[in-house]
Amino acid sequence: MQQEFHSSGNANYLTAMRNYYNSGATMSYAFRKEQLRKLKHAVLRYEKEIHRALLLDLKKSAAESYAGETGLLLAEIRVAISHLREWMRPKWVPGNLVNFPSSSKIYHDPLGVVLIIAPWNYPFQLSLIPLVGAIAAGNCSVLKPSELAPATSDILQKIITEIYPPEYISIVLGDGATLIPVMIRSFRFDHIFYTGSRNVGKIIYQMAAADLVPVTLELGGKSPAIIEYDANIRVTARRIALAKFANIGQTCIAPDYLLVHEYIQSAFIEALKRCIVEFFGTDAAISRSYGKIINEKRFDQLVSYLDQGEIIFGGQHNRSSLYIAPTLMKNVSVESGLMRDEIFGPILPIFPFTCREEALPILQLNPDPLSFYVFTSDLKKEKSWVTGFRFGGGCINNAAWQFTSHHLPFGGVGDSGIGAYHGKYSFKTFTHAKPVLKSATWMDLNLKYPPFDGKLKWFKRFIW
């Protein structure tokens, strides 16, 4: 059943989780693999209900829900099951001359009881993909899904409570601003994994720091896309339109603004308009492939941006249906809220540039983006952009798809986050790499022991 956690600090179930973890029940390979299989079967069993919930919360079609939520989760589970034994196996590492004769291994220990706090924009997979890593690593977990996606939270609760005992994995529903501080102050978690806004991430970080609790913070950031004059206009327009307007722009790795070379700007904008119509029709409000804004508060914020530049496409909106059309804008001031804030919606500012030096001042207004995208056919330009700018991750001649590869760590840098996950990187996030040196006893050189007179020259030979 759903866990209760009141302001009085009722942490009894957390104590039960700590005791369960300390019992060693989660440690074995067989146990972890079985829990991953249970999750996979539950997702497949409730797939239609999951997709209905995502339709209610975000107006996602079944196809978009599978591509962006359940399918990604199932792929993550498959990878974890396939590689779990290898990930768990202690790794031999080379020794050094100082410790001869000896051997060295790195063990990956579970962290303990972890807290996973998920956002509303991809409420299913951003709740459970981190949980896959926590399960594979052998932890007990508390899951806090977003209250802003209530239908998805309900199906998550149904799945979690059906397949896992509460002392192993618990789910807490309710207002995060009220519940999360109480949990963190009443119980020392061994790790906190948070996905969401930068402002809330800072608060989580400060609370965790009081007890030296390590964190993973997957935050947002204004992710730019650079479109050079030698980019393939048609392909670039299609890929930008997909990445920006999927989930109606409510994606942390969506392109937040474009820097388009002046030489191709007009042609590119026309191509982008055609792609939007091709994807969503002349009225995206009736498209089954186009979602809705999560709530009225976000809707009002997004609509306020429409006065901060020139609308060159779209701009239609309807508060009663939480609809904002795919919108392109130009002549936007770099000092406007549209360029200070992470947009997180279907509004795309476009800026012209003629050279790298002209683009840099705009990029430097929002350093350390979560993602960075470059569209070019020139290898020198590609290298110059990718190596000359700091960002969490990105693509060349694509956008957003880096998230789908379990071979790539996903995470931010600086203001866009701390830590990374996906695939083996999730396992590493939720484990402690424990180094162990094993020394032989058949040799025990006096050189290592006092007195040290006359041994300096030998230390210099062995240590350096």
- Region of 238 on the Ramachandran plot (φ > 0 left; ψ -120 to 50 alpha; else beta): alpha
Ordered alpha helix ranges (H), 246-388: 265-280, 296-305, 337-340, 356-363, 379-387
Whether 218 sits among the annotated catalytic residues: the reply is yes
What is the rounded distance in angstroms from the CA atom of residue 288 to the CA atom of residue 308? 29
Under 8 Å between Cβ of 261 and 232: no
Looking at the DSSP assignment, which residues form a beta bridge with residue 417?
218
**Residue 66: DSSP 8-state:** I
The active-site residue, picked from 252, 275, 342, 395, is 252
Angle between helices 71-88 and 29-45 (to 10 degrees): 170
The active-site residue, picked from 167, 218, 228, 342, is 218
Give 119's contacts (C-beta < 8 A, 6+ positions apart). 126, 146, 195, 196
What 3-state class would DSSP assign to 379? helix
Residue 226 identity = I
Under 8 Å between Cβ of 141 and 114: yes
What is the rounded distance in angstroms from the CA atom of residue 42 to the CA atom of residue 131? 14
Under 8 Å between Cβ of 27 and 110: yes
Give the catalytic positions in this structure.
218, 252
